[in-house]
A and B are shown apart, each in its own frame.
Chain A
């Protein structure tokens, strides 16, 4: 899932201050799962904003709606009946969702309520960890299912740096050494020899370079 974090209330308050009528628009998929932008978070933030502005002697009308996800127009258009009566949308989706809503409702400002952080997983209750950088060239099969691009602080592809201590990374001792994990898992599968294969310098053109990436599936275009 995409993991995001709600912006501090003071920052959100500053962002929405110019507007009197606001729609707080939640997302029922990724940001709900990481407790940043689902129905509960929409309701709480809307209430907090009303209280904060009222305390300052100002009135702000805040409406609330959560759609299944904001990265698809099919769901975003559910907000259309509300958009006519508001001055701005405060989106609690990831950056992709905010921009999708902005494309849909071109005549009103669409504001971000979250900081989108990473592609990750729920490791255990309350803990979300980054697992994937979206590099566009997945080689997890070469590394026993542990990604050196994302999980090695130095992005090393040809073995450990030698600086780890008790399985923890020397760059950040709170992080597990990715190469320790790779080696341990490869050993379990009997695939340690695979790690001897040389990985050439990576072609980063499939990654975050040269503008927004695109995927076209013509088989889905009718």
Chain B
């Protein structure tokens, strides 16, 4: 008997990315994951609904890349973003999707290694949690 082919889970991640943290993100899909990048002039532009809509659009995990604390070009933008992410993590937990699917990373400007680490961690989290049950 031939077993049906098991499709390997290829996580879809959405990355909201502050352009001040890095102007040239190395965000490309690979064989292991699909990435959608949304550029922001500042992380303060993030709205809670954007994060939820990313999951509605099928994301298995969402990451925000923001400037380190104290280095936001607009003073407190990254702190506001962090507050919104924290609130939405709780909301996503209440929805039943697991708040670990959403994370925020502070990226020193121009640090491509930090970006790569954030992406790798997001893919790892998505893989561990499995496909978005509401996708």
A residues apposed to B, CB below 8 Å? 8-10, 40, 43-44, 47-48, 50-52, 54-56
Contact of B97 among A8, A40, A44, A55 (CB under 8 A): A55
Q: Bound state CA distance, A176 and B97, in angstroms?
A: 42
Q: Bound state CA distance, A56 and B47, in angstroms?
A: 25
Give chain B interface residues in 117-135, CB to chain A under 8 Å: 133-134
Report yes or no: B91 in contact with A48, Cβ–Cβ below 8 A.
yes
Q: Bound state CA distance, A40 and B49, in angstroms?
A: 7
CB B40 to nearest CB in A, in angstroms, measures 16
Report yes or no: B52 in contact with A47, Cβ–Cβ below 8 A.
yes
Q: Bound state CA distance, A51 and B97, in angstroms?
A: 9
* Range for the number of chain B residues in contact with chain A: 10 to 19
Q: Which of A40, A50, A51, A54 is most buried by chain B, counting CB atoms within 10 A of its CB? A: A51
Residues on A with beta carbons closer than 8 Å to the beta carbon of B55: 51
Q: Does B31 contact A (CB under 8 A)?
A: no
Report yes or no: B47 in contact with A48, Cβ–Cβ below 8 A.
no
Given contacts A9-B94, A51-B56, A55-B97, contact A44 B49 (CB under 8 A): yes
Residues on B with beta carbons closer than 8 Å to the beta carbon of A52: 94-96, 134
Q: Which of A8, A40, A48, A54 is most buried by chain B, counting CB atoms within 10 A of its CB? A: A48
> What are 25 inter-chain pairs, A to B, with CB distance below 8 A?
A9-B91, A9-B95, A10-B94, A40-B48, A43-B47, A43-B49, A44-B47, A44-B91, A47-B49, A47-B52, A47-B53, A48-B52, A48-B91, A48-B94, A50-B56, A51-B52, A51-B55, A51-B95, A51-B134, A52-B95, A52-B134, A54-B134, A55-B95, A55-B96, A55-B97
B residues apposed to A, CB below 8 Å? 47-49, 52-53, 55-56, 91, 94-97, 133-134
Interface class of chain A by DSSP: helix
Number of residue pairs A-B, CB distance < 8 angstroms: 42
Q: Which of A10, A44, A50, A55 is most buried by chain B, counting CB atoms within 10 A of its CB? A: A44
Report yes or no: A44 in contact with B96, Cβ–Cβ below 8 A.
no
Report yes or no: A8 in contact with B94, Cβ–Cβ below 8 A.
yes
Q: Bound state CA distance, A54 and B58, in angstroms?
A: 12
CB A221 to nearest CB in B, in angstroms, measures 42
Q: Bound state CA distance, A39 and B85, in angstroms?
A: 18
Residues on B with beta carbons closer than 8 Å to the beta carbon of A51: 52, 55-56, 95, 97, 134
Residues on A with beta carbons closer than 8 Å to the beta carbon of B133: 55
Interface pairs A-B: 6 shortest CB-CB = A47-B52, A43-B49, A55-B134, A54-B134, A51-B134, A9-B94
Q: Bound state CA distance, A59 and B134, in angstroms?
A: 10
Residues on B with beta carbons closer than 8 Å to the beta carbon of A56: 96
